[in-house]
Chain A
Amino acid sequence: MTGAELGQIAVNALLLSGILALVALGFSLVWGIMNIVNLSHGAFIVLGAYLTFWMHALWKIDPFVSIPVSMIVLFGLGYLIQRSLINQVIRAPLLATFLLTFGLEILIVNLINYFFKADTRSVQTAYSGTGFALGPVRVPYIRLGALLVSVLLVLVLGAFLNRSRLGRAIRATGMDIDAARLSGVKVAAIYALTYAIGASLAGAAGSLLSMVVPFDPNLGGPYTERAFVICVLGGLGNVVNVLIGAAVYSVVEVFVGSRLPALSQAVTFGILVLLLIVRPQGIAGKSFS
């Protein structure tokens, strides 16, 4: 392998890790705070992608500009879903939320399929495909922009969770729900808020992805899987862990993808299972399970 190829792989991994960190962020939050593995995370990603696509196709809104809009819409949707649906099964055995979110995923994705059809879409702007060269390595502008947006959102979320009152309420609820309730925290609303934030981050990720890959209603599934692996790799607990997990995962995926593309999932999951057995709390963190 030449130096140029290695360099390009490194750059690809870096750019990918930005988007994947964003994908995993919302997932990690919902899992860490509410112990819910949200299988409908992928559906929210797809919704975000379609929102950006249609805003661009119908009203020529620049995809980066559409990100806040898609985040707001998905925030509302997530809040509704958690408040009305998922809160009803919180205290049921683990499988319940797992399957509920799965049922939700099927429902949402197929509604999207019904309304928007299965045609492949992508968001093409005037600056699609442009980039600059860093020696022999090429850095596409859009992927770079996606990385920057992701980092921004990660930092914002971190600040929110650590500095703001609501953020602290969320973390408290995650640590000890009864204590939080006794301190006056409205747990039902906090849960809904957490889920809503998770959904909105997924929406942002979807909006970014719409610019980067051609997509159809089935875009989300593989990203939910990746989110899971990243959370296990990095460990739940805080935002930095997600970044670490995303970075490690991206390197593995890009590297395996260039050498053994047909077995990329097998290798990834092999690593995952190994890790779960040897070090379940992940590389850096502690798990909330």
Chain B
Amino acid sequence: MAKAIRLILLVAVLAALLLLPRFVSSYKLLTYTTVLCLALMAQGWNFIGGYTGYAAFGNVAFFGIGAYTTGLLMLSKWHLSFFPAVFAGALLSAFVATLIGLPVLRLKGHYFAIATLGVAEAFREIAGSWDSVTEGATGIDLPVRSDNTFFYYTALGFVVVGVFVTFLLERSKIGYGWVAIREDQDAARMLGINTTIFKVAAFALSAIFASLAGGIIAYQNIHVAPNDFFKIEYTLQMIIACIIGGTGTVWGPLLGAAVYQLLSTYIWSHFLELHPTVLGAIIIFFIVFLPRGLMQLFGRLGLVARGRRRVGWDILLANVRASRLE
């Protein structure tokens, strides 16, 4: 019964998303595309940060690589069309992620996080100084495309594929391997799991997703410049989306991206000047009270519907009790 309801809900949501462009303005469509790209990035981050437990803080590097590669290939003498260009970008990002991942994934915790952050910053600087290739700080302009529906459907398509990929991987050996690494890497190693390959795979996968998002946003935005496409805000958004939704789950990243964007847009139109402040407060709230994200609440909804439990504010307090200093 519950499964059937869930399936119907899913189909309904998908149908609504497919029909969306008919009902909203061109500008709103851009916002939706941005949410979908955020969801895409969050899905990717989920592999390395959620399932595998390695908090990468530099995935915007792949977003930027994807953006620049897509753009440069489209502007090059071969005049590639969008899809070959964006897939080439994804491949390049996966390659770079593997190269960087091999040494950097040997680090743990904070060190890994900051190392990846450093990588992203380094790429930003390189993009800003490599004038002969990237035009440096001036940036590049992709060919102008006017139909915003193209970006929307492309992003939607990628996100749907992402859901399938996450779903399948979660239940596969790879997914179990990732979780094993997250929970106890030494035990996993002792059980014969090649932790290096698994970690690099997760990292490369996260790079591919970020890169695809970068390509779409680049095309949508037309202008690509280092400070815009390598900024840390993107990394933070994808991480926050995962946190709000729930890391290590299939729907968490999407839920989180949607909620984050909703909150962000609402705050932007009502508290324009305090927009980032309120966002900071929201981050703090979730970290303290709902570190496992909204998916943790959803697990309860079934029970609530059947009258077995009242809406559990106690979950919030329980989370705090579990993690506070005694």
List chain A residues, Cβ under 8 A from B124: 265
Which of B110, B111, B113, B125 has a CB less than 8 Å from the CB of A265? B125
In the complex, chain A residues 245-289 whose Cβ is within 8 Å of any chain B Cβ:
262-266, 268-270, 272-273, 276-277, 280, 289
Chain A residue with the shortest CB-CB distance to B103: A277
Number of A-B contacts (CB under 8 A): 141
Chain A residue with the shortest CB-CB distance to B104: A273
List chain A residues, Cβ under 8 A from B109: 94, 289
Q: Is A111 an interface residue (CB 8 A)?
A: yes
* In the complex with contacts A89-B291, A91-B324, A114-B108 CB distance below 8 A: no
List chain B residues, Cβ under 8 A from A225: 117, 121
A225 vs B121: C-alpha distance when bound (angstroms) = 11
A263 vs B284: C-alpha distance when bound (angstroms) = 34
List chain B residues, Cβ under 8 A from A228: 114
The answer to whether A98 and B119 touch across the interface, beta carbons within 8 angstroms, is no
Q: Least Cβ distance of A1 to chain B in Å?
A: 22
Size bracket of the A interface: 35 or more
The answer to whether A88 and B323 touch across the interface, beta carbons within 8 angstroms, is yes
A31 vs B109: C-alpha distance when bound (angstroms) = 12
Chain B residue with the shortest CB-CB distance to A271: B118
Q: Least Cβ distance of A106 to chain B in Å?
A: 3
Q: Least Cβ distance of A162 to chain B in Å?
A: 25
Total residues of chain B contacting the partner, CB 8 A: 48
* In the complex with contacts A96-B291, A98-B110, A102-B236, A110-B277 CB distance below 8 A: yes
Q: Least Cβ distance of B51 to chain A in Å?
A: 13
Which of A93, A187, A276 has a CB less than 8 Å from the CB of B325? A187
A284 vs B239: C-alpha distance when bound (angstroms) = 34
Q: Is A232 an interface residue (CB 8 A)?
A: yes
The answer to whether B277 and A107 touch across the interface, beta carbons within 8 angstroms, is yes
Chain B residue with the shortest CB-CB distance to A261: B129
Q: Is B115 an interface residue (CB 8 A)?
A: yes
Chain B residue with the shortest CB-CB distance to A88: B324
Q: Least Cβ distance of A249 to chain B in Å?
A: 13
In the complex, chain A residues 1-45 whose Cβ is within 8 Å of any chain B Cβ:
31, 37
A280 vs B283: C-alpha distance when bound (angstroms) = 30
A277 vs B291: C-alpha distance when bound (angstroms) = 30
In the complex, chain A residues 85-100 whose Cβ is within 8 Å of any chain B Cβ:
85, 87-96, 98-100
The answer to whether B283 and A99 touch across the interface, beta carbons within 8 angstroms, is yes
The answer to whether A114 and B121 touch across the interface, beta carbons within 8 angstroms, is no
Q: Is A188 an interface residue (CB 8 A)?
A: yes
Most buried by B among A95, A96, A181, A263: A95
Chain A residue with the shortest CB-CB distance to B109: A94
Q: Is B169 an interface residue (CB 8 A)?
A: no
The answer to whether A273 and B125 touch across the interface, beta carbons within 8 angstroms, is no
A93 vs B49: C-alpha distance when bound (angstroms) = 12
Chain B, residues 217-250, CB within 8 Å of chain A (1/0): the string is 0000000000000000000100110010000000
A227 vs B276: C-alpha distance when bound (angstroms) = 24
List chain A residues, Cβ under 8 A from B129: 262-263
List chain B residues, Cβ under 8 A from A276: 107, 111, 115
Which of A103, A263, A265, A270 has a CB less than 8 Å from the CB of B287? A103
* In the complex with contacts A114-B274, A273-B119, A262-B125 CB distance below 8 A: yes
Given contacts A99-B239, A99-B287, A110-B280, 19 further A-B contacts (CB under 8 A): A37-B110, A85-B284, A88-B320, A88-B324, A89-B323, A89-B324, A93-B53, A95-B49, A98-B110, A110-B276, A111-B277, A187-B325, A188-B325, A188-B326, A191-B325, A228-B114, A232-B114, A262-B128, A268-B118
Nearest 3 A-B pairs (CB), nearest first? Answer: A269-B118, A103-B283, A107-B280
